[in-house]
Amino acid sequence: MQNDVIPIWDNSTKKQPLKTADRMERAWLSFMRDGTIDSSIVRPDIANSWRRCYKQSKKSGIVPQSVLKEHQKSNELLIEVSKPVLHDLFNMLNKQLDSFSVMLLDAEGVVIHRINYNNNIVTLGHLCDERHRGTSGPALAIANNVGTEVIGYEHIYPNAHHWHTIGVPIHDSNGQTVGVIALLNTTGQYIPLTMQIVSLAASIIDSRLHRQKLLMDVSSTVMNALNNAAMLVNEQGIVVCANELCLNLLETTPERLFGNALSEYLATVNNQDLLSTLAAKDDTFYVPIKNHDSSRRHSNRICRVDRQIIQIEPQETLFMLTIKPMYQYLLNKSVGEQDAFAVLAGRNKDFLKVIETARKAAIMNCSILIEGESGTGKELIAQAIHRQSARPGRFVAVNSGAIPKELWNSELFGYEEGAFTGAKKGGNPGKFELAHKGTLFLDEIAEMPLPMQVSLLRLLEDKTVTRLGGKDSRIFDVRVIAATNRNLMSEVKKGNFREDLFYRLNVVYLKVPPLRERKDDIPILAELLLQQCCLKNNLERAQIDRQVINVFCDYDWPGNVRQLQNVIESSLVQDNDGVITSDDLPSYLLEDSNSAAKAGKLHQVEEIVIQETLQKNNGNISKTARELGITRKTLYRKMKKIANG
């Protein structure tokens, strides 16, 4: 092979021997003078290149930035695979060479990635073929599709006569040349085995390209067999491949999607947020998909994403993402295959922690206490826990605040026929009995009368029920989930709730955050609630204007998710064209939103004035307070508020 050239260098001095250099110089001068080549000195591949380049006008050697970006875009996989190899090659050489460049060229000879060391000769976009750079290692690698080393006067252009250049082709799985790995050594210093090292680097890139191609083929086969949209994404959030269903969902083509950041197709999710989500331990998350047509004013589609991690190498990970629109999930909910927690959509970190704990607790048989303001979805979480637990019994809900205290025993334990005046013929089972092998949900547990708390405590301890008026006792398998909108520990301290019962119920504790503390979930929740409302009422799919989402995010929602659901339902009644706009919203919502916006602007103005006055007075607190007409104490308080955001 022509890779195995014998270097015309003196290894003891690391310089080209004078005699050899003189012979090569004379051969070059002879060729430049009359076009004759001394074949005893000039190698055949060099001679052929000289003839091709002879008296050829040197063309401009750098492509425009726009063209460079196109070349880099079409070779993203090659660049991604080659970068770590080029970096390793650079680290090997920078200990031995004082000035060099390691380059990656595409098949047309354009430099699409490079690492320079103590020189700026090579820039991105340089063209390194024979027409632009004459005879050189990279140019011959492109022309002959073989690894080539070019030394000193073998370069046809005079400015390269003290250079040492190497080019080795990179091939895809079909044997086609897709690029060249190249080295420019400008020092006139020879390093043994450099050609072999560069060739090894090219071989590593070849094998990685082949492996990626095999992975893509296998992944494409797997994804195309799925009934849902699916894609492969790397650790940088770049889409590697996707199936046809995914392309349809994102309303795009392989050319536009592959090699691009997935975040470009997501609304209100930047790339850093996406990378954090991919790296988190949650295997399920929710994202809003952008509408393809930016002129459409309505909201984005909320999708559930299930993630699988594919570990290729210790330092290389891919993510298989299966994407399903929540509207599709709601339509198929009756199938019973889906995750029970899927309807509890969100990406707020505090909320996700609650769901993660609930998911773990679902498979256990322990009691659970859920605290949270009214309307935060405590019962929805309890229902999801029950469904996920796969307990065969029923989910029985009891509103503790709605039962008169004299009826508590009969409601909870049931009664036999004739137990009291008005008792049903044949008796009646209690809620605990009805929940056998299932879940008893005690809502508003803080409202339970103290005498009944004693009975509940005993019931939780031995699971034994005796109906009112009955003689026989029976043991029932019931899981208890309690919920309250109060701080139950505070109620214990006030003497309103038994401490022993509190600890019996509080085996697993879930604190559901109010909606005002998870505003990042509002776009997802609004879309999900809208879809649920449309399905429940047999309405055509409606959309939400983007301005309405902004209004929702500005509002504090004292009634939490339940209030948001009510607003969406009332807005659907007002809507006439399938898109909920600000005109369809309750007036109080718009008034509060405007007040919040004005308050925010005033706060920003105040912050700017304080900072500018402090700066003008070189941080003098007393002088600044006097100019602002406030006390030092007030100024300190406002400064602390500014510092804390």
68-80 residue pLDDT tens:
999 998 898 899 8
Contact of 505 with 445, CB cutoff 8 Å: yes
Residue at 8 is within a domain: no
Contact of 330 with 534, CB cutoff 8 Å: no
Same domain, 599 and 463: no
Structure tokens at 315: 């330092």
Picking from 548, 532, 551, the residue whose alpha carbon sits closest to that of residue 580 is 548
Residue at 43 is within a domain: yes
pLDDT beyond 90 at 119: no
Phi/psi for 309 (5° steps) reads: -95, 130
DSSP 139-168: HHHHHHSS-EEEEGGGSSSGGGTT-EEEEE
480-510 residue pLDDT tens:
999 999 999 999 999 999 999 999 999 999 9
Q: Based on the structure, what is the number of domains in the chain?
A: 5
Q: How far is residue 56's CA from residue 75's CA, in Å, rounded to a whole number?
A: 30
431-463 residue pLDDT tens:
988 999 999 999 999 999 888 898 889 888 888
Using the 3D structure, point to which of 511, 546, 573 is the last residue of a domain.
Answer: 511
Residue 258 lies in domain? 226-282+291-335
- Highest mean pLDDT out of 322-336, 376-390, 613-627: 376-390
* Torsion angle defined by CA atoms of residues 179, 181, 186 and 189, in that order, rounded to the nearest 10 degrees: -150
pTM (predicted TM-score): 0.58
Task: Find the CATH number of the domain harbouring 530.
Answer: 1.10.8.60
pLDDT tier at 331, thresholds 50, 70, 90: low
Range 350-364 burial, b when 16+ CB lie within 10 A, else e: ebbebbeebbebbee
DSSP 556-587: --TTHHHHHHHHHHHHHHH-SSSEE-GGGS-H
Q: How far is residue 327's CA from residue 549's CA, in Å, rounded to a whole number?
A: 18
Angle, CA 249 vertex, CA 238 and CA 356 arms, to 5°: 70
Same domain, 205 and 315: no
Task: Find the CATH number of the domain harbouring 621.
Answer: 1.10.10
pLDDT beyond 70 at 18: no
Residue at 261 is within a domain: yes
511-538 residue pLDDT tens:
999 999 999 889 888 888 888 888 888 8
Task: Find the CATH number of the domain harbouring 173.
Answer: 3.30.450.40
Same domain, 466 and 547: no
Residue at 218 is within a domain: no
